[in-house]
Amino acid sequence: MYQDVILDHYKNPHGRGLRDGDAEVHHVNPTCGDEITLRVKYEGERIADVSYEGQGCSISQASASVLNDLLVGKDLAEAQKIQGLFLELMQSKGRIEPDDAMEEALEDAVAFAGVSKYPARVKCALLSWMAWKDATAQAFAEEAKTA
Amino acid sequence: MYQDVILDHYKNPHGRGLRDGDAEVHHVNPTCGDEITLRVKYEGERIADVSYEGQGCSISQASASVLNDLLVGKDLAEAQKIQGLFLELMQSKGRIEPDDAMEEALEDAVAFAGVSKYPARVKCALLSWMAWKDATAQAFAEEAKTA
Amino acid sequence: MTAARQGLTGLLDTEAIRKDFPVLERLVHDDRKLVYLDNAATSQTPRQVLDVLAEYYEQHNANVHRGVHVLAEEATALYEGARDKIAAFINAPSRDEVIFTKNASESLNLVANMLGWADEPYRVDQDTEVVITEMEHHSNIVPWQLLSQRTGAKLKWFGLTDDGRLDLSSIDEVITEKTKIVSFVLVSNILGTANPVEQIVRRAQEVGALVLIDASQAAPHMPLDVQALGADFVAFTGHKMLGPTGIGVLWGRQELLEDLPPFLGGGEMIETVSMHSSTYAPAPHKFEAGTPPISQAVGLGAAVDYLNAIGMDKIAQHEHVLTRYAVERLREVPDLRIIGPDTAEDRGAAISFTLGDIHPHDVGQVLDELGIAVRVGHHCARPVCLRYGIPATTRASFYLYSTPAEIDALVDGLEHVRNFFG
Amino acid sequence: MTAARQGLTGLLDTEAIRKDFPVLERLVHDDRKLVYLDNAATSQTPRQVLDVLAEYYEQHNANVHRGVHVLAEEATALYEGARDKIAAFINAPSRDEVIFTKNASESLNLVANMLGWADEPYRVDQDTEVVITEMEHHSNIVPWQLLSQRTGAKLKWFGLTDDGRLDLSSIDEVITEKTKIVSFVLVSNILGTANPVEQIVRRAQEVGALVLIDASQAAPHMPLDVQALGADFVAFTGHKMLGPTGIGVLWGRQELLEDLPPFLGGGEMIETVSMHSSTYAPAPHKFEAGTPPISQAVGLGAAVDYLNAIGMDKIAQHEHVLTRYAVERLREVPDLRIIGPDTAEDRGAAISFTLGDIHPHDVGQVLDELGIAVRVGHHCARPVCLRYGIPATTRASFYLYSTPAEIDALVDGLEHVRNFFG
Ligand SMILES: Cc1ncc(COP(=O)(O)O)c(C=O)c1O
Ligand SMILES: Cc1ncc(COP(=O)(O)O)c(C=O)c1O
């Protein structure tokens, strides 16, 4: 389960730290105490930044770092596709063997395929992704209100 | 468990029917619905009569008949000794093999020794005896009051 | 007798089935083969379930949920896998609607307590009514008596007809706008009666009352489809359906389980706890405080596998054929009076009767000496005995491994009882 | 390391004992021998208990009480015999003071509910107070939170000192004339702390409060004498003391059990039932609604036989020696911080710790890959984590079959964890 890719992201997280954003959320995994505070910054439909602070296990921390790598700079629609794919992979109970197309879409995130075999850890891997989804919804709700 | 003695008493109960008495009690075994109404009549310390009506299983009915046989005509002290002995026998879980002394004291009641092996039935065998004890207590309490 | 027996069709291959049940080989009173006709009290357990139990303890035993070690993950997968099996067995729309309890009694009490502590519109209080029936098991009477004592709600019930059926003639007066819940037994454990679910559910829905069905004597014996029943809650118990003791089930509709408050508090049922307050996990965990009956749930899953392999339809048919045969043969016994429906229609495979004025304890005891195990007493349904003016009954009850020969043995035994006390 | 290990005296013959536990032979992750250090979550089950369980189902299975057939009588004798064994094990003055529940959580909820529905002088209501501690298992927190929400009673608690002990400095302000019950853990499942019973009981008795002791982590590990404890109720759970899942115990003083109202209603707990009202059986049956966990009680009886044969004194000593060794060895691990008492005095054999800022989930997972099973998380005692400002801990916990070599494996494993994430 602890692929080198995951350990690398854990030891050297990408984009960590809180920066300016359109919306901020705080998510907690009550069963293990993993926490994340996450902000999203949009330029139109384009993700300008995802910044975060958190504490937790290597899986939740590395996953946030991978998320930052993957989503920043993408359009919302594309990001949602990636999020959906990652969710599917994590819920596969180890049954999905990532193919080339998936590797291309998920890049480093395919390293989490092994985590999906451990039900107790799937929530850790998903923590930042759920936070991102939630923050995005809030950002656009804000925008709709002010528009 | 169904000794001929028991069946005989069941089919031809001795002293059944309610007659004049100093005290009357009604006892129920809630787990099986056995019921007895029992009256005692004392002449001083001497048991002049134990009369009863009831419904229930052969064990409870035969036991009342045996009680009538054994106790009527006895002095209270002697009756209490017999009652104590019978109680001991019934609570023995089949571990007491009645000896000559016990047979002499309990007469037909030793036939219930086998019943003591069946916890569910011990209460049936004791129903009338508990009723008698209770009625006796009441009779003497009455007497104390009126004395 | 043999003529009648030979005409029976639709029976299961009991010779094969009985080999799975070690206890059926048991000799009692020295040399008598056990004739086990006490299945409404508890069923026997097949080798297949015992093997699963042993394997659980020998290979996978751990506490469930949140563990990151192999055993904990295996135990969790087995426990939650059992939930999947039960959900499929009763055709639940969602696995999260299946709550494991310790027995049907806990399941029934759980609903009574949820409603006692609920907010509107579910709350049972002094202005509301609760409806049960006179043929309920004590486990579906006493929780409602306690609830009504503690909340002031009025407890009402359907009475019984002389032939052992629910008297629904005044259903509109019994179930009213004040009714918060109607709780009734699908198949009576004492009378054998199978009740008309649809009519009761329809009326309950008309007035917006919830419906709880006690399926303790149904789940083991017939296909059970909680969606088709149309109830809000269904309770049953593992030990009557080839499972271990110590496990029961409550199925409840998801929205209700979300809205209703928890009952027992503790580990596993929480989301987060501080000394000042706690939040609760989503159902089913919200209602499963503490270490659950893990191996028992796994064992019940194995029991359900076993039942499915034989087929609930076939089991129901087998029992129906047996019951018809039994009713016929019991009618031959002089002075025998069946308490409950005296045909095999709309009834389960438990038959209660009295035998002249021989007390059921004596009937049961003499049958036992012949190796025949029946139950005697009020069968935890004393109001039924009161209703029919009897202290108790003798009850014979069948299951998938029961045979016509065992019914013949019972009838012969009853003849012996009559002669013995005659 | 080997030097330290060789000096250990007072250990049990674990080589012989381990042969009784099939699961300890289990290989995990292909070829690693299981090192099971998760005993505070649940214990493993010896062959002797499994044999008794199998024999129960293969020979004696029946519903208990009131049956007049052989199986019913045997099952009843086994079930009630188990009660005798438990009563003797905890030195209860009377067997009728031993109530079987499904787990410790139900036992604790049972007391909370009894008191919520009790008459004076026991009744918990808005003018009264309930006292617990900050180191309780959620199962001894949430029932009291629910009770206080539902009755208006005030919930108070003892805090913790920095070294993981109860802060009793203001005991006279915490336990007052308004206190109806003080409920606390004998040995903490997260900190390992063994609490000073006498001081708390004395103060509770001064003000006339009842005392409930959660002995879930004590009953498996040391001689337990409910009379010596001086408490009114003692709760524990079968699966942590070599017994099956699905069985718990509540011991309570006879007068209290007589005076307090029932909790779950149903079959077995009644004396007589009519539609209008019911009366209840004497304790313990009053508190055992429905078909009890029969085989589980019998299995727990067998577990107690097993424990007695080894000797609770010897088990306590074995664990004490192991704990001392473990504390010593864990101190060698850089960045390791024990949460709870960091000596072996007045503590049980569960040791929680953090390892630098490596998350316990990661510690546990990497240990698991080495075959070492520990528990990680808040151990159903989240207030303790809040108190010490940590999200979770890793916990190793020992039992009669644990060995110094397993502790060495743990320490080596932790070194590996540090290198892995270093
Ligand atoms: C101290 C303590 N109390 C209560 C419990 C609850 O026991 P159970 O889960 O068996 O109900 C546990 C174990 O989980 C415990 O360690
Ligand atoms: C109809 C019915 N309801 C409820 C119960 C209670 O089941 P349990 O004793 O397993 O709680 C029984 C069985 O005893 C029953 O037959």
What tens digit of pLDDT does each residue of B32-76 get?
778 899 999 999 999 999 999 998 999 999 999 999 999 999 999
Q: Output the CA angle D395-D399-D401, nearest 5 degrees.
A: 125
Domain locations in chain C?
3-33+311-420, 50-309
Ligand nearest to the CA of C102: 2
Distance CA C97, CA C253 (A): 6
Residue A147 has a pLDDT of 67
Tell me which fold the domain D3-33+311-420 belongs to. Aspartate Aminotransferase, domain 1 (3.90.1150)
Chain centroid to Cα C327, Å, comes to: 22
What tens digit of pLDDT does each residue of C290-347 get?
999 999 999 999 999 999 999 999 999 999 999 999 999 999 999 999 999 999 999 9
Sheet holding C233-237, edge to edge: C98-101, C248-252, C233-237, C210-214, C179-185, C129-133, C154-158
Beta bridge mates, C355: C336, C358
Distance CA D132, CA D234 (A): 14
Place C3 in a pLDDT band, splitting at 50, 70 and 90: low
CA-to-CA dists, residue D366 to C167, D335, D373, D419, angstroms: 65, 17, 10, 11
ipTM: 0.94
One DSSP character per residue, B3-63 reads -HHHHHHHHS-SSBB----SEEEEEEETTTTEEEEEEEEEETTEEEEEEEEEE--HHHHHH
Q: What is the pTM of this model?
A: 0.95
Q: Output the CA angle B39-B44-B49, nearest 5 degrees.
A: 30
Contacts of D76 in chain B (CB under 8 A): 119-120
Beta bridge mates, B23: B40
Residue A119 has a pLDDT of 83
Do residues C97 and C256 make contact, with C-beta atoms less than 8 angstroms apart? Answer: no
Helix (H) or strand (E) holding C281: none
Do residues D97 and D228 make contact, with C-beta atoms less than 8 angstroms apart? Answer: no
What tens digit of pLDDT does each residue of A95-132 get?
998 999 999 999 999 999 999 988 888 999 999 999 99
Pairing mode, if any, of strands D278-280 and D154-158? Answer: unpaired
Distance CA C31, CA C43 (A): 22
% of chain C with per-residue pLDDT over 90: 96
Do residues C216 and C236 make contact, with C-beta atoms less than 8 angstroms apart? Answer: yes
Residues of D noted as catalytic: 380
Place C5 in a pLDDT band, splitting at 50, 70 and 90: confident
Cβ burial, residue A101 (10 Å; 0-12/13-18/19+): exposed
Residue D30 has a pLDDT of 86
Q: Do C364 and D29 count as a contact with CB atoms less than 8 A apart?
A: no
Residue B146 has a pLDDT of 75
% of chain B with per-residue pLDDT over 90: 79
Around ligand 2, the residues with Cβ closer than 6 Å are: C 103-105, 137, 139-140, 185, 189, 214, 216-217, 237, 248, 380; D 267, 290-291
Using an 8 Å CB-CB cutoff, list residues of chain C that contact chain A.
65-68, 72-73, 76-77, 271-272
Q: Do C73 and A121 count as a contact with CB atoms less than 8 A apart?
A: no
What string of pLDDT tens digits covers the 422 residues of chain D?
555 677 799 999 999 999 999 999 999 998 999 999 999 999 999 999 999 999 999 999 999 987 789 999 999 999 999 999 999 999 999 999 999 999 999 999 999 999 999 999 999 999 999 999 999 999 999 999 999 999 999 999 999 999 999 999 999 999 999 999 999 999 999 999 999 999 999 999 999 999 999 999 999 999 999 999 999 999 999 999 999 999 999 999 999 999 999 999 999 899 889 999 999 999 999 999 999 999 999 999 999 999 999 999 999 999 999 999 999 999 999 999 999 999 999 999 999 999 999 999 999 999 999 999 999 999 999 999 999 999 899 999 999 999 999 999 999 999 999 999 98
- Write out chain D in H/E/C secondary structure: CHHHHHCCCCCCCHHHHHCCCHHHHCEECCCEECEECECCCCCCCCHHHHHHHHHHHHHHCCCCCCCCCHHHHHHHHHHHHHHHHHHHHCCCCCHHHEEEECCHHHHHHHHHHHHHHCCCCCCCCCCCEEEEECCCCHHHCHHHHHHHHHHCCEEEEECECCCCCECCCCHHHHCCCCEEEEEEECECCCCCEECCHHHHHHHHHHHCCEEEEECCCCCCCCCCCHHHHCCCEEEEEHHHCCCCCCCEEEEECHHHHHHCCCCCCCCCCEEEECCCCEEECCCCHHHCCCCCCHHHHHHHHHHHHHHHHHCHHHHHHHHHHHHHHHHHHHHCCCCEEEECCCCCCCECCEEEEEECCECHHHHHHHHHHCCEECEEECCCCHHHHHHCCCCCEEEEECCCCCCHHHHHHHHHHHHHHHHHHC
Pairing mode, if any, of strands C98-101 and C32-33? Answer: unpaired
Q: Is the peptide bond before D46 cis (omega within 30 degrees of 0)?
A: no
Q: Do D365 and A121 count as a contact with CB atoms less than 8 A apart?
A: yes
Cβ burial, residue D77 (10 Å; 0-12/13-18/19+): middle
At C353, is the secondary structure helix, strand, or coil? strand
The beta-carbon neighbor of C73 closest among A30, A31, A119 is A119
Residue D3 has a pLDDT of 57
Q: Is the pLDDT of residue C2 over 60?
A: no
What tens digit of pLDDT does each residue of A31-74 get?
777 889 999 999 999 999 999 999 899 999 999 999 999 999 99
Does residue C385 have an active-site annotation? Answer: no
DSSP-derived secondary structure letter, C22: G
Check whether domain C50-309 has CATH 3.40.190.10, yes or no: no
Chain centroid to Cα D270, Å, comes to: 29
Distance of CA D84 from the midpoint of ligand 1 (Å): 23
Contacts of C377 in chain B (CB under 8 A): 31-33
Residue A29 has a pLDDT of 83
Kindly list the partner chains of chain A, i.e. chains with 3 or more CB atom pairs below 8 Å. C, D
Residue nearest to atom 12 of ligand 1 (CA): D216
Contacts of B55 in chain C (CB under 8 A): 359, 391
Q: Do D265 and C109 count as a contact with CB atoms less than 8 A apart?
A: yes
Chain centroid to Cα B139, Å, comes to: 16
C401-405 long-range contacts, CB within 8 A, separation 24+? C401/C14, C401/C17, C401/C18, C401/C21, C401/C24, C401/C44, C402/C14, C402/C36, C402/C37, C402/C39, C402/C319, C402/C322, C402/C349, C403/C11, C403/C14, C403/C322, C404/C5, C404/C8, C404/C11, C404/C322, C404/C325, C405/C5
